[in-house]
């Protein structure tokens, strides 16, 4: 096995250095070759890191940055590759355990659970961390609760969707399942994911941007996205999460309120954009 790791960054400051350090600090523990490329998507201050390959490109969005990074991994003849966000951290021993997972399961790809955390303690940050950790339950693939597979056999990977600027990390998984690839969720390893500071205003702005990308894009099915978000998510009703709601009722109420507002916001955005398109067509 030769593992490629792909990370993208854009104006992430010290956060990306923490991610890279979490990889570098494990290299002495592993007995297989590894190639790491970090694509700097045109940051204002160019990223420098002496231990890994840094590819600097003109700012073009995360999907394009990942495509460029994947080219480097293919050129290195990696058998497997893992793609990460800059705000992710590999816990100690992750790479050593990853090899065991790959050897124990004959799969095309793996969904790796993410454990959310944050150094901030405001209410909406705690709600977001609580909501993100609801994904940690195990489930069967047939449930329809599809998360992004981040660890792939290189030969099985269906590719990133060029030009897609929202929900781009889940599209290879959706395409892989349609092709009949074997994709499982592993429980042996996990990735730490820093939610940083979350405010409700910033959350609405971020999700509204995603909604607009999704509604305007012809590169993904709207229903494929919608049925896996908010109240459609089957994992929300898993028995392990029902126990969490009882133990943390205030945070659970916060999640319901957040989903309700975001769902209404999506509906309003969708209706408004459809009306604007019809008005534009009538003026022609």
Could you give the CA distance from residue 89 to residue 10 in angstroms, rounded to a whole number? 16
Q: Which residues pair with 37 in a beta bridge?
A: 6, 53
Could you give the CA distance from residue 224 to residue 232 in angstroms, rounded to a whole number? 11
Low-confidence ranges of the chain (pLDDT < 50): 141-143
Could you give the CA distance from residue 114 to residue 96 in angstroms, rounded to a whole number? 18
Could you give the CA distance from residue 191 to residue 101 in angstroms, rounded to a whole number? 14
Domains of the chain, residue spans: 1-196, 199-283
At residue 35, the pLDDT reads 97
Could you give the CA distance from residue 188 to residue 192 in angstroms, rounded to a whole number? 14
At residue 4, the pLDDT reads 98
Other residues' Cβ atoms within 10 Å of the Cβ of residue 115: 15
Contact of 111 with 184, CB cutoff 8 Å: yes
Please name the residues in contact with 183: beta carbons below 8 A apart, sequence gap of 6 or more: 107, 108, 109, 110, 111, 141, 149, 173, 176, 177
Contact of 172 with 108, CB cutoff 8 Å: no
For the stretch 124-175, pLDDT in tens is 999 999 999 998 887 654 445 568 899 999 999 999 988 766 678 888 998 8
User: In sequence order, which ranges of 93-198 are alpha helices (DSSP H)?
Assistant: 94-104, 123-133, 171-178
Could you give the CA distance from residue 105 to residue 85 in angstroms, rounded to a whole number? 25
Contact of 132 with 172, CB cutoff 8 Å: no
CA atoms within 13 A on the CB side of 278: 6
Contact of 131 with 203, CB cutoff 8 Å: no
CA 243 to chain centre: 26
Give 18-46 as a DSSP string: HHHHHHHTTGGG--S-EEEEEEE-S-SS-
At residue 236, the pLDDT reads 87
Closest CA to 67 of 88, 45, 42, 41: 41
At residue 221, the pLDDT reads 62
The DSSP code for 114 is E
- Residue whose structure tokens are 């099915």: 221
Other residues' Cβ atoms within 10 Å of the Cβ of residue 109: 23
Name the E strands within 45-137.
Answer: 53-56, 80-85, 88-89, 109-111, 114-117
Element holding 8 (H helix, E strand) = strand 3-9
Fold of 1-196: Spore Coat Polysaccharide Biosynthesis Protein SpsA; Chain A (3.90.550)
- Residue whose structure tokens are 């990074």: 69
Pairing mode, if any, of strands 34-40 and 3-9? parallel
């Amino acid at each position: 096995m030769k593992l490629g790791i792909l990370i993208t960054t854009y104006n992430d400051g010290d956060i990306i250095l923490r991610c890279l350090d979490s990889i570098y600090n494990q290299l002495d523990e592993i007995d297989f070759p590894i190639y790491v490329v970090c694509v700097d998507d045109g940051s204002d201050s160019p990223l420098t890191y002496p231990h890994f390959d840094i590819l600097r490109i003109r700012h073009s969005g995360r999907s394009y940055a990942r495509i460029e990074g994947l080219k480097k991994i293919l050129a290195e003849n990696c058998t497997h590759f893992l793609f990460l966000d800059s705000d992710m951290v590999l816990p100690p021993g992750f790479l050593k355990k990853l090899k065991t997972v790959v050897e124990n399961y004959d799969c095309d790809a793996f969904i790796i659970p993410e454990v959310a955390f944050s150094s901030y303690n405001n209410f909406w940050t705690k709600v977001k961390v609580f909501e993100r950790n609801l994904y940690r339950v195990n489930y069967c693939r047939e449930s329809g609760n599809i998360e992004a597979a981040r660890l792939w056999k290189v030969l099985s990977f269906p590719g990133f969707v060029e030009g897609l600027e929202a929900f781009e990390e889940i599209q290879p998984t959706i395409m892989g399942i349609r092709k009949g690839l074997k994709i499982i969720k592993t429980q042996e390893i996990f990735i730490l994911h820093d939610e940083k500071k979350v405010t409700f205003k910033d959350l609405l702005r971020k999700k509204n941007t995603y909604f607009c990308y999704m509604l305007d894009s012809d590169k993904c099915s709207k229903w494929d996205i919608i049925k896996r978000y908010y109240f459609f998510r089957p994992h929300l009703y898993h028995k392990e999460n029902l126990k969490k709601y009882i133990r943390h009722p205030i945070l659970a109420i916060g999640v319901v309120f957040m989903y309700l507002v975001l769902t209404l916001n999506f509906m309003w955005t969708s209706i408004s954009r459809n009306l604007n398109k019809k008005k534009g067509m009538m003026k022609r």
